[in-house]
């Protein structure tokens, strides 16, 4: 296992849901954190008890490539290293095989946030992750990136792509100690699932459990790489 001390981890979408749970867990474990959100004030508020010496708050909007570059540059300016990237920010919109309306824009938005931004951040951070010798990338994909459950296809397409990105990152960075995991949970109890009726909130995966899994993935040795990790809250097609 690799110690948290002195290691710098970037987390996107850290202001709420799974990202906030990850930020809290990693902070408690002693990592230095470079956290990002679209709304800096919201992120400042939820991390106000954190010691500012060990964290950096950044603006990151998946649609604005300048914020990708600025986030990475700010992180290097403050900490002079990057040991991990958690691509957590994501959106879900309804795009089905037989939609009557043209909803290409919704599909484009999901590609941008769920796939293109994680790819961009991976490219920008890889030189530093390689330098670390123990670089870690965790893409919060989804069970929807491993199985298709009906005609709703848009989100699933982007999450399958996020799994593909994870494998390419793992293979590309392997020789320099970079390890990458596609984390694939089923329903997680966050704002994203508040309309879901098929599973009760109390039976969904807890963000805190996912955060604990992320901490473990970051701390595992280079010789214990987990390429994909499926987390079920009910019996499923895959698991």
* Binding positions for ligand NAP, rule: CB under 6 A: 13, 15-19, 37-39, 60-63, 88-91, 113, 140, 142, 185, 187-188, 190-193
Q: Residues 141, 116, 6, CA angle at the centre, nearest 5°?
A: 70
Least distance in angstroms from the C-beta of 137 to ligand NAP: 14
Burial of 169 (0-12, 13-18, 19+ CB in 10 A): buried
Q: Which is nearer to ligand NAP, 19 or 84 (CB)?
A: 19
Least distance in angstroms from the C-beta of 9 to ligand NAP: 16
Cα of 144 vs its chain's centroid, Å: 15
In 3D space, the residue among 185, 181, 11, 165 whose CA is nearest the CA of residue 87 turns out to be 11
What tokens does 226 get?
């987990």
Residue 78's Cβ-side half-sphere holds a number of Cα atoms within 13 Å equal to: 22
Q: Is 155 annotated as catalytic?
A: yes
Looking at the DSSP bridge assignments, the partners of residue 140 are 183
User: How many other β-carbons are positioned within 10 Å of the β-carbon of residue 111?
Assistant: 15
Angle between helices 104-111 and 154-173 (to 10 degrees): 20
Q: Which is nearer to ligand NAP, 125 or 142 (CB)?
A: 142
Q: Which is nearer to ligand NAP, 82 or 86 (CB)?
A: 86
Residue from 27, 134, 149, 155 carrying the catalytic annotation: 155
Q: Which is nearer to ligand NAP, 63 or 174 (CB)?
A: 63
Task: Extract the runs of DSSP E, i.e. beta strands, from 84-173.
Answer: 84-87, 136-140
Least distance in angstroms from the C-beta of 177 to ligand NAP: 25
Least distance in angstroms from the C-beta of 24 to ligand NAP: 13
Catalytic annotation, residues? 155
């Amino acid at each position: 296992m690799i110690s948290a001390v002195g290691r710098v981890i970037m987390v996107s979408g850290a202001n709420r849901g799974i990202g906030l749970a990850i930020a809290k867990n990693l902070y408690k474990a002693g990592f230095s954190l470079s956290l990002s959100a679209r709304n800096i004030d919201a992120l400042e508020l939820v991390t106000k008890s954190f010691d500012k010496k060990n964290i950096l708050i950044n603006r990151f909007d998946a649609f604005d490539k300048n914020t990708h570059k600025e986030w990475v540059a700010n992180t290097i300016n403050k900490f002079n290293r990057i040991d991990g990237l958690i691509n957590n920010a994501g959106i879900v919109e309804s795009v089905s095989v037989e939609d009557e309306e043209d909803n290409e824009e919704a599909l484009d938005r999901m590609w941008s946030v769920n796939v293109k931004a994680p790819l961009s951040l991976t490219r920008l951070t890889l030189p530093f992750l390689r330098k670390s010798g123990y670089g870690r990338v965790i893409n919060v994909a989804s069970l929807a990136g491993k199985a298709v459950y009906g005609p709703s296809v848009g989100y699933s397409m982007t999450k399958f792509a996020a799994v593909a990105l994870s494998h390419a990152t793992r293979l590309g960075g392997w020789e320099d100690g970079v390890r990458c995991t596609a984390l694939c949970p089923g329903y997680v109890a966050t704002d994203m699932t508040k309309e879901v009726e098929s599973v009760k909130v109390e039976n969904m995966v807890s963000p805190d459990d996912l955060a604990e899994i992320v901490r473990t993935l970051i701390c595992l040795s280079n010789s214990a790489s987990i390429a994909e990790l499926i987390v079920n809250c009910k019996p499923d097609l895959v698991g």
